[in-house]
Structure 1
């Protein structure tokens, strides 16, 4: 549980066609307007829509479906994977213990743990496109990548990834407006 809470979220900036040249005051989330799902889970998709809107509004932007300055579209890649690790436990007995105490721990008794261990996880990419509707070009695409090892924590990890994407976008927006 502790390890899954500490896994990192990496953000990659891609697909920049034009620089941020003007202050953006309003936005629209295309997924919400046309009913396009960005995640396989409808629950997570709804959470991301709400979270994106609230985070952008908290940063001073206004939701405007008629004449937005900024169009936002999101999608995801949810890729189930497996990780194999090798257990390098020594295969020799602890000399003296097995001779004098047959119940003492021995790696020979626990030979099933020697070898490989496979764990399942999901690599989740949250991809958010920021588009200038006036020029019909990408300002940027921000991709957040994280690993989810427990489905119960997937929605929290996705929302934390969305938070990091919004923080990166708002930093770029504030740098461009200076």
Structure 2
């Protein structure tokens, strides 16, 4: 009985932490409903040399990530006569956030010597600013036969350190391809 309870508790904690995601996907634009399942694709950025990011490493990371993820779904990469054109861009916006400096430290809720560490009495501000970057990956899925956008997806996340950017972009690519597949599966006749 005790081991079952521990297993259930461990499973609940695992589900809680795995379901928390800091990447939001927005379906920005759809100009028409899909009319067929696409068999092949091309990534316009890789073929024409468009830069979605200022950093060449991030540009290659997203291009190769999209290519690999779409090929895992059964689609082929074809440059001659593609049924689907994929294009990506980015928006990297540096921002600031106000953070409240807790005036109650973890030890005793100011029971002892309340004036020693209180920022109000040491000419310190109760608020400080924290820098972060709002990272947006925008991917267009274009049908060249109709010359219309099948779907435009935007993945939005916050990056607090530069080393986080690679992981966030990899996860964003995965989520965008998952959203594309679910959109296609729901709307095909």
Partner of 1:122: 133
8 Å CA contact retained: 1:7, 1:146: no
Residues of 2 paired with 1:126 and 1:16: CA distance?
17
CA distance in 2, matches of 1:88, 1:53: 46
Give the equivalent residue in structure 2 for 1:47. 61
- Give 1:47 shift: 0.6
Runs of 4+ in 1 over 4 A off after TM superposition: none
Q: For 1:74 and 1:47, locate their aligned partners in 2 and report how far apart those are by CA, in whole Å.
A: 12
- Contact kept, 8 Å, 1:124 with 1:145, in 2: the verdict is yes
- 1:50-61 aligned at under 5 Å gives the runs 50-61=64-75
Which residues of 2 match residues 126-145 of structure 1 at below 5 A?
126-145=137-156
Any stretches of 5+ residues in structure 2 without a counterpart? Answer: 1-19
Aligned equivalents of 1:61, 1:108: Cα separation in 2 = 61
Q: In the TM superposition, what is the alpha-carbon distance from 1:113 to its structure 2 partner?
A: 5.9
RMSD of aligned residue pairs (Cα, Å): 2.3
Mean alpha-carbon deviation: is it higher for 108-117 or for 58-67? Answer: 108-117
Determine the structure 1 residue equivalent to 2:96.
82
Alpha carbons of structure 1 residues 75 and 108: separation in structure 2 relative to 1, 3 Å: closer
Query: What's the counterpart of residue 101 of structure 1?
Result: none
TM-score, length-scaled by structure 2: 0.80
Indicate the SS of the match to 1:77: strand
Residue correspondences, number:
165
